[in-house]
Amino acid sequence: MRGWAMGGTVAFSPGPPRVGMRANGNAAGCPRLFWMANRMLNQILRFLLDTTFGFFVFLLLTRFYLQVLRAPFRNPLGQFISALTNWMVLPARRFIPGMFGLDLASFLLAWLVEALLLFLLYLVGGGGFLGGSGALIGLFLTLSVFELARYSLYLLIGVILIQAVISWVNPHAPLAPLFNALAAPFLRPFRRLIPPIGNVDLSPLFVLVAAQLLLIPLEYLVRSVAALF
């Protein structure tokens, strides 16, 4: 998922040690087994960090967008997000006030959690601080902004897909008002330009295509910023 981040696992993991070519020597096999075990543990740790921290970044971003789009919180999903993030957001609001009706605490927490994740992945990958710590911190914070943009596009894709399924299967589902509120601002411009064809609304398809097109240059931009380090 984050192969670009600070070089990725492959770049930080040295190749298997080259020892003698004796096929029957135990000394030749032990270093390789140790390297394979270390690489496996490295990948497991990366997966756990990425999954855990990424989960909370998604929750915090979703909470931020729920408030921005004035989506209802009184539903199972809204209550689930609130229950899992209140322990971070409520204390942070004492120091990070809202502005223009925006829940800045949730957004800044998502940004900091993502930056911390990149830092931890950097350390797990074998990175160090022999100098230029300020540049590293700036790099993590900059990459975190791009990562939040990428998360936001993936959230948009998920919302559009779920809203389309609900509208077809059960338009009166308890979560239908939530996903309609989240998807409507993005569907509305396409609905104005593209009329339904055979009573089929094609606007979700165009939103998905637009989101995928935005992801392509974003990925290149992230790789370019990481390559500057």
CA angle (199, 204, 208) in 5-degree steps: 150
Report residue 4's pLDDT band, with 50, 70 and 90 as the boundaries.
Answer: very low
- How many C-beta atoms lie closer than 10 Å to residue 117's C-beta? 22
List the domain boundaries for the chain.
5-227
The pLDDT tens digits of the residues spanning 99-126 come to 877 899 999 999 999 999 998 988 887 7
As a whole number of angstroms, the longest Cα–Cα distance in the chain is 73
What length is written for the chain? 229
The pLDDT tens digits of the residues spanning 144-183 come to 999 999 999 999 999 999 999 999 899 888 899 999 999 9
